Structure 1
Amino acid sequence: MQQIDWIVIVLTIFFIVIYGVWKTKGSKNVNEYILGNNETPWYTVGISVMATQASAITFLSTPGQAFNDGMGFVQFYFGLPIAMVIICYTFIPIYHKLKVFTAYEYLEKRFDLKTRSLAAILFLVQRGLGTGLTIYAPSIILSSILGWNLTQMNIIIGTLVIVYTFSGGTKAVNVTHKQQMFIIMLGMFTAFYLIVSGLPENISFTNALQIAGANDKMNIIDFSVDPKNRYTFWSGITGGLFLMLSYFGTDQSQVQRYLSGKSIRESQMGLLFNGLLKVPMQFFILLTGVMVYVFFQFQTLPLNFNPNSKVIIENSAYKNDYKVLESKLANVLEEKKQVTIDYANQLNIDVENPVLKRRISALSEKEKSIRDQAKELISKADNKDKTNDADYIFIHYIITYLPKGLVGLLLAVILCAAMSSTASGLNALASTTVIDIYKRNVKEEKNEKHFVSATKMFTVMWGVVAILFACVGTLFENLIQLVNIIGSIFYGTVLGIFLVGFYIKFVKAKAILWGAVISQTTIFFIYYFAIHIYPSGQEKLGYLWLNFIGAMLTVVISSLLQTIFKEDPETIEA
């Protein structure tokens, strides 16, 4: 990296931290620290909701996901707009009516303290893991590509976020999200423009899309009903819908964003704003990954994008075998490059040559086979190493092909995205710990200042936990999928509790508690025996279905148990 890149990164990051501290210092009470005094306008709510979900993992892993598998991942988000409408007209009015600080307060009023505590603990477990990943994702990739120390990267990112989140609470998170999203989108649009501009002169954007289609990267919608397929139209509008309902409706990291809105209407408008823009944004990020794929059809590529893999192979008995595969790949890529150019020339005279298209597809399969063989060698050389390199593809493009200064901008994008999600996570973890656990178990009367101090203390505590988890983490198959898998294991049960609370009035506390426990236990077993023990791509169930199954199990089991239990505690109308 050049000096100008370092200047861009340092100035960008420190501007955000200093701005966040300056704009939000001095919160005097819990409402101000946790909900920002309910002064957040709708557009800031919408941007903050979007920035919370758009972590560094989104901008590192999603282009790699599209590079390998095409546009199909966008189906994951098909249920999001529907979820936004349901949350706007069910969840938000109830939360505002009850004047809650966290989503889980509602559960005590509807059921009892045990149910509230169970939901809060499930949230703390999965969000604690997720927040560690939002630090770990950019750290491990940047450290591998740039030679930075991984542990130091984790500590730096985590500490910077702790500083302004500790200082200003929710308001600091919200105001910094605006700057972060501006930098993120500026960087992504710049990258997209440069990728398309970097294609050969005779390759137009339309040609690039057709080349991507010839490589099976433009299959956006899959109507398959096979539950083994991870991303289909049906899994998106069922499992994806339930995941989004739970994430945006019951995950405190998101709920806290719109609970800070000025009014019910402002909160609703913020969520709808997110619902309208989120799917196009993810489509654009995936399309960026597809354009990177097309760009690389005309470049020399490594056999594996993870630089750690090359080091492992060079120091193993499989070094010569790997070189043979590198030679084979080079020959395939050279032939594929020429065939692609011929195919594009045919397209420019309005003639699509099916023979060339089939040849491109066959060469793509051959390339994939060679890369898979390389991964097997890497795995043999070091069975602890994760051979999937999807998370390194986009960063490889940034470091190798972007001009001076813009490398710094794109790295700043990644770091800003890491900070935005991590800040929301820490803010929500601290708020939930204080409001749902600590405050409910403190027997003595404490003033507002005490609970503000406690929230700050738990912000630091969870920040340290997240940094420690990031420091001992392992690179999984694909980070964007890992985050969603972790969420899917827990979200269904939590959502089921809320659905029963909102819509099934005859179910009481004891039934929902045991229904949730049985449901969560069942999901653990389903995940292990249908997903975890199988290699990637050979699972017996797509993980998105866990959200639907968990929610439905909670609803059905608690309803059945209520016919057995005879309790009748008071309930609230919602």
Structure 2
Amino acid sequence: MKVLPLFDLAIIVLYLLGMILVGFYFSRKNNNSDSYSKASGLIPGWAIGMSIYATFLSSNTFLGVPGKAFGGNWNAFVFSLSMPLAAWVATKYFVPFYRETGQISAYTHLEKRFGAWARTYAVVCFLLTQLARMGSVFFGIALSLQALTGYSMQTIMIVMGISIIIYTVMGGIKAVIWTEVVQGVIKTLGAVLIIYLIVSHMDGGIQRIVSIGKIAGKFSLGSFSANFTQSTFWVVLLYGFFINLNNFGMDQNYIQRYHTAKSAKAAAKSVWLCVYIYVPASFLFFIIGACLFAYYNVHPELLEGIRHQAAVERLPLNATADQINALAAKLQPADYGDKVMPHFMVTSIPTGLVGLIVSAILSAAMSTISSGMNSSATVFTVDIYKRYIKPGINERQTLNTLHIATVIFGLLGMGTGIAMIGVKSILDIWWALSGIFAAGMLGLFLLGIISKQTQNQEALIASIIGLLVILWMTFPGLIPEEYKFLRNTLHTNMIIVVGTLAIFLVGILLTKLKAAPTDAAQHEIQEIH
């Protein structure tokens, strides 16, 4: 741990001030809720695509992916490989659908399709997903900056959170999108710079990195066996497809951006631009993880500090030095992977460049958090406040509600991040929580879009059954030991896959069963005539 040089701190402070000034700049043009939430539909498609890319490339990617690759292999990259198929489905069916409805909320149509319960259920799932996302991103910021500054993670989250809240509240969706365009460029250049710095520190350069990585199996995409109890290639592919389908088709963060585009065609192009940039960009972060593994494989003595820190975090406060040292010696790379890149920044990157890279990490975090705050506030205002609390509010009151809700969700995101302190892997906790909350939304949405005959009753029963399946998969420990054979043994990433299919297939089955007697009766009438 060391204190950042004044020059690096100045770069970070200037970056934060720049983001806040952007918020104030766009605040002059946010005179109504349409401008605040949809930018009046005047944003070019390429800017929206960069914005979606920046939202995808959060600090979970910036810190979690290198940590995951350092502690394991490139299995998680399969998630990125699933994006093109999800994007094809989204641009062919979902984007035109939302543009035609004209509804700013992604969930309004669920009430028209199945009733108010469906809309509320999807909104609750979305808001919980956003809290999990923002919390994990806040945690990622604090994890890196704590190693650089020595300040507590709670303090870092509060300071960063206040900065993000100011520019998001002031600037609305315009500020979010245009700052994300800049942030997308910054964080990509930051990844390239980190790779260059690691390789330049490595004796033997790229060839030695590749050699060490091959021996350790770092470049593997995972087992191709049909084993769904472990994180195999197929498990991550299925998980990635369903999560990305949910992102492009049900997540308010992205649906809201479709409405900021000038046309449906421009909105669809923005999705593909995101995919074209994100897949190779995410690959860079897996390269960083492999490079860090090779570097510290050559210099293992440089990891003693973070192994010791990881051991301290896992033991009670009254643990002795011998207990800490004993545990530190047993820890595996996967146990401290998220700490490796901040550690490299602290010990190996020269003054000035550290400030630039920290700004890149901040940009990765700020784009995701600001987007989550804005979309959560929009959903709350449209689907909860105006629907149930005050349906007849005027334009000024709507804008005020959006501002207040943005602040509240920013504070809740910070609180969730503080509660996550001590988790083993940022990426693991985010993947688990997002899969749990997203499964219910996606299954119900697909049922409403694909099965035109499914009505309120069948959808409600299917959702209840699907929710029970999700709970069964999520909390296997609640089943008593004598019935442990009933416990779920599938990998956590399969929750969204099984949960989504459970709601969709049960809904289809119930619809068929309900239609069967009617079809039989009509057939008898025809025979009589």
| Same fold (TM > 0.5) | yes
- Please name the residue that 2:331 is paired with: 371
Of Structure 1 and Structure 2, the greater helix share is in 2
CA–CA distance in structure 1, aligned partners of residues 19 and 212 of structure 2? 40
Q: For each residue in 1:190-213, what CA deviation from the matched residue of structure 2 results, as whole angstroms up to 9, or x when unmatched?
A: 11111111111xx13133212211
Query: Quick one: which of 521, 536, 560 aligns to 2:509?
Result: 560
CA–CA distance in structure 2, aligned partners of residues 30 and 405 of structure 1? 41
- Please name the residue that 1:215 is paired with: 216
* Equivalent residues of 2:435, 2:495 under 8 A apart: yes
CA–CA distance in structure 1, aligned partners of residues 359 and 373 of structure 2? 21
- Please name the residue that 1:473 is paired with: 420
- Please name the residue that 1:226 is paired with: 227
CA–CA distance in structure 1, aligned partners of residues 402 and 317 of structure 2? 49
- Please name the residue that 1:32 is paired with: 35
Secondary structure, in 3 states, of the residue corresponding to 1:238? helix
Secondary structure, in 3 states, of the residue corresponding to 1:505? coil
Over 3 Å counting, the alpha-carbon distance change for 1:533 and 1:242 in structure 2 is farther
1:182 paired to 2:142:
no
Alignment of 1:98-113 (within 5 A): 98-113=101-116
Q: Which amino acid aligns with 2:228?
A: P
- Please name the residue that 2:498 is paired with: 549
Unaligned runs of 5+ in 1: 330-369, 376-386, 567-574
Per the TM alignment, residue 463 of structure 1 is displaced from its structure 2 partner at its CA by: 1.3
- Please name the residue that 1:411 is paired with: 358
Over 3 Å counting, the alpha-carbon distance change for 1:128 and 1:565 in structure 2 is farther
TM-align CA RMSD: 2.6
- Please name the residue that 1:4 is paired with: 7
* Equivalent residues of 1:79, 1:237 under 8 A apart: yes
Which deviates more, 494-503 or 540-549?
Answer: 540-549
Equivalent residue pairs, number: 505
* Equivalent residues of 2:50, 2:180 under 8 A apart: yes
- Please name the residue that 1:117 is paired with: 120
Query: Quick one: which of 71, 76, 84 aligns to 2:74?
Result: 71
Query: Quick one: which of 423, 444, 454 aligns to 2:370?
Result: 423
Secondary structure, in 3 states, of the residue corresponding to 1:302? helix
1:268 paired to 2:279:
no
Over 3 Å counting, the alpha-carbon distance change for 1:400 and 1:170 in structure 2 is same
Per the TM alignment, residue 54 of structure 1 is displaced from its structure 2 partner at its CA by: 1.6
- Please name the residue that 2:466 is paired with: 519
* Equivalent residues of 1:173, 1:420 under 8 A apart: yes
Per the TM alignment, residue 306 of structure 1 is displaced from its structure 2 partner at its CA by: 5.7
- Please name the residue that 1:320 is paired with: 322
Per the TM alignment, residue 111 of structure 1 is displaced from its structure 2 partner at its CA by: 2.4
Q: For each residue in 1:87-136, what CA deviation from the matched residue of structure 2 results, as whole angstroms up to 9, or x when unmatched?
A: 00100101000101011012122222221111111111221232222212
CA–CA distance in structure 2, aligned partners of residues 531 and 296 of structure 1? 41
Over 3 Å counting, the alpha-carbon distance change for 1:309 and 1:496 in structure 2 is closer
* Equivalent residues of 1:16, 1:180 under 8 A apart: no
* Equivalent residues of 2:224, 2:232 under 8 A apart: no
CA–CA distance in structure 2, aligned partners of residues 371 and 547 of structure 1? 31
CA–CA distance in structure 2, aligned partners of residues 545 and 278 of structure 1? 23
Which deviates more, 387-396 or 3-12?
Answer: 387-396
Q: Which amino acid aligns with 2:46?
A: Y
1:284 paired to 2:284:
yes
* Equivalent residues of 1:20, 1:175 under 8 A apart: no
CA–CA distance in structure 1, aligned partners of residues 171 and 42 of structure 2? 14
Alignment of 1:372-411 (within 5 A): 372=332, 388-411=335-358
Q: For each residue in 1:308-346, what CA deviation from the matched residue of structure 2 results, as whole angstroms up to 9, or x when unmatched?
A: 4465679755523654787xx7xxxxxxxxxxxxxxxxx
CA–CA distance in structure 2, aligned partners of residues 270 and 196 of structure 1? 34
Per the TM alignment, residue 558 of structure 1 is displaced from its structure 2 partner at its CA by: 1.8
CA–CA distance in structure 1, aligned partners of residues 143 and 331 of structure 2? 22
CA–CA distance in structure 2, aligned partners of residues 454 and 281 of structure 1? 37
* Equivalent residues of 1:26, 1:167 under 8 A apart: no
Percent identity over the alignment? 26
* Equivalent residues of 2:77, 2:283 under 8 A apart: yes
Q: For each residue in 1:487-517, what CA deviation from the matched residue of structure 2 results, as whole angstroms up to 9, or x when unmatched?
A: 1012122111111111111101222123112
CA–CA distance in structure 2, aligned partners of residues 397 and 305 of structure 1? 10
1:508 paired to 2:509:
no
Q: For each residue in 1:40-75, what CA deviation from the matched residue of structure 2 results, as whole angstroms up to 9, or x when unmatched?
A: 111111111111122212111110110110212101
- Please name the residue that 2:239 is paired with: 239
CA–CA distance in structure 2, aligned partners of residues 529 and 73 of structure 1? 24
CA–CA distance in structure 1, aligned partners of residues 478 and 294 of structure 2? 32
Secondary structure, in 3 states, of the residue corresponding to 2:72? helix
Over 3 Å counting, the alpha-carbon distance change for 1:308 and 1:208 in structure 2 is closer
CA–CA distance in structure 2, aligned partners of residues 420 and 502 of structure 1? 30
Unaligned runs of 5+ in 2: 482-487, 516-529
Over 3 Å counting, the alpha-carbon distance change for 1:503 and 1:148 in structure 2 is same
Q: For each residue in 1:279-309, what CA deviation from the matched residue of structure 2 results, as whole angstroms up to 9, or x when unmatched?
A: 2111111111101111112222334626644
CA–CA distance in structure 2, aligned partners of residues 284 and 402 of structure 1? 18
- Please name the residue that 2:524 is paired with: none
Q: Which amino acid aligns with 2:17?
A: F
* Equivalent residues of 1:306, 1:392 under 8 A apart: no
Q: For each residue in 1:153-188, what CA deviation from the matched residue of structure 2 results, as whole angstroms up to 9, or x when unmatched?
A: 111111111111111211111011011112211211
Over 3 Å counting, the alpha-carbon distance change for 1:8 and 1:100 in structure 2 is same
Secondary structure, in 3 states, of the residue corresponding to 2:465? helix
1:497 paired to 2:444:
yes
Q: Which amino acid aligns with 2:8?
A: D
CA–CA distance in structure 2, aligned partners of residues 533 and 91 of structure 1? 42
Which deviates more, 241-250 or 81-90?
Answer: 241-250
1:199 paired to 2:202:
yes
CA–CA distance in structure 1, aligned partners of residues 478 and 275 of structure 2? 30
* Equivalent residues of 2:209, 2:290 under 8 A apart: no
Per the TM alignment, residue 438 of structure 1 is displaced from its structure 2 partner at its CA by: 1.0
CA–CA distance in structure 2, aligned partners of residues 111 and 557 of structure 1? 15
* Equivalent residues of 2:75, 2:220 under 8 A apart: yes
- Please name the residue that 2:293 is paired with: 293
* Equivalent residues of 1:250, 1:494 under 8 A apart: yes
Q: Which amino acid aligns with 2:303?
A: P
Q: Which amino acid aligns with 2:159?
A: I
